[in-house]
Amino acid sequence: MGYHSPVMLEEAVTGLNIKNDGVYVDVTFGGGGHSKEILRQLGPEGKLIAFDQDKDAILNTIEDSRFILINENFKFMKRFLKFHNINIVDGVLADFGVSSHQFDKPERGFSIRFDSYLDMRMDQEASVSAKTIINEYDESDLKNIFKNYGELRMAPAIARSIVEARTRRPIETSLQLRKILERYLTRGRQNKTLAQIYQAIRIEVNNEIDALKRFLTDAKDILKTGGRLSVISYHSLEDRLVKRFIRNGMFEGEPQRDVFGNYKVPFKKIGKLIIPSKSEIKINNRARSAKLRIAEKL
């Protein structure tokens, strides 16, 4: 099954500072690349719990007594770890990219390369798809999605065009959507603008920002002192949230100060921002926008 090569594999796993008998969590299992490397470095007493809400990922499960794969959204990480009698862990890894497998299956609707039904659900049993959003959301909600999640200046006009077009007939395929939005696709930037539009819809379909915030908040709670957080983001919305949370332990505002005037924060940053090498990008073009941040629980 065509899952992508794991991005910054060595850097992300090294960032976890793996202990022989440690307990680790990979919340974005996908093709299992990061998980396999974690298991390779773990001793016989170690344990790895992985999450992936995509049913296709189950086919990649690893036969290893130290490994458990949970077919759920990582926003439920804390709940399912507790179910397995795990309250504290040594490290958590997340790679928030859409897998090549999802991009390369036209029927999943993630890619701008294919004419397919508007879907974009990571969880194929979820009730809200891209088609739902495009055909049922009101104009102001669509405008906010394209503005906030796609960072598109022409968000009001895009929303208005969609609402006008769907009064004539339902918008069901990516080709229909592209034709409606053709006037906003500047020559030389068509794919970039389309990618921003698709990103905005996908984030809303999968409630990605709320899931990320919940994940980071729970990671803070379940990591033991000295435990590591290793997170790969692919767009500025995610990366800003990760950066702020590592720095402040919150998504907005400033943290409290202690009696000595020092900020009370849950993490310390480990090293600088890491980006893929030129050689990795050459082999795996989808790594080009990846950013890795590593933090240690205080």
Distance CA 198, CA 203 (A): 9
288: CB partners within 8 A, 6+ apart: 276, 281
Q: Where in the chain is the domain with CATH 3.40.50.150?
A: 9-100+208-297
Q: Which of 43, 30, 35, 37 is nearest to 1 (CA)?
A: 30
The CATH class of 127-205 is mainly alpha
Rg (CA), the chain: 20
Q: Where in the chain is the domain with CATH 1.10.150.170?
A: 127-205
- Show pLDDT as tens, one digit a residue, over the chain (298 residues): 445 579 999 999 999 999 999 999 999 999 999 999 999 999 999 999 999 998 888 999 999 999 999 999 999 999 999 999 999 999 999 999 775 555 556 667 666 677 789 999 988 889 999 999 999 999 999 999 999 999 999 999 999 999 999 999 999 999 999 999 999 998 888 889 998 999 999 999 999 999 999 999 999 999 999 999 999 999 999 999 999 999 999 999 888 887 787 888 999 999 999 999 999 999 988 899 999 999 999 9
H helix runs in the chain, sequence order: 9-14, 33-41, 77-83, 100-104, 130-136, 139-148, 155-166, 174-180, 190-205, 208-222, 236-248, 278-283
Distance CA 229, CA 227 (A): 7
Distance CA 141, CA 122 (A): 21
What superfamily in CATH does domain 9-100+208-297 come from?
Vaccinia Virus protein VP39 (3.40.50.150)
pLDDT of the residue at 109: 63
pLDDT of the residue at 280: 95
The whole-model pTM stands at 0.91
